[in-house]
Amino acid sequence: MKQIILLFSILFLLIGCSSDDSEASEVEFSVIGQGNHYNGNFENPKANLVIKNNDQWTILKNHLTSYSIAQLNETNIDFNKYYVIAVVDEVRHSGGYSIDITKISQTDRSIIVKVEQLKKGDFTSIITQPFHIVKIAKTGKKVVFK
């Protein structure tokens, strides 16, 4: 009987003390811009981006039209303090779509970015490419998109 209790006690301790990243806490983020890329270069593929420096940020901004850039709340980012997270949806052949960063959380090892499509489209006949761009505090953790 003592052996069974000892075995269950050890199993309980092992399960209870495991560091499996299951405890996630929310990460604050601020929206830089969200909207649709119109009337531009639609050769940009669907992408999940972690932008860590000004060169990468400039490349993304160069792929946006002036209309899309006007949708950005901020264009000068201090990359000593922040990373930019950008999600770009596929090209849509009608309007009414969105791509949405709905939550960012962190574990001991990673930053988890939850991406959803909250608007599913309509019958507007315009080619669009939805995007959502946010910034988070700089981190050394791996960023994972879900």
- List per-residue pLDDT tens for the chain, 146 residues long: 555 454 444 444 444 444 444 578 999 999 999 988 776 566 667 899 999 999 999 988 888 776 677 788 999 999 999 999 999 999 888 889 999 999 999 999 999 999 999 999 888 888 888 999 999 999 999 999 99
> What's the pLDDT score for residue 49?
95
> What's the pLDDT score for residue 22?
58
> What's the pLDDT score for residue 36?
85
> What's the pLDDT score for residue 125?
85
> What's the pLDDT score for residue 42?
61
The residues near 146 (Cβ < 8 Å, ≥ 6 apart) are: 112, 113, 114, 115
Amino acid identity at 22: S
Rounded to the nearest 10°, the torsion over CA 116, 29, 73, 128 is -10
Cβ atoms of 39 and 67 within 8 Å: the answer is yes
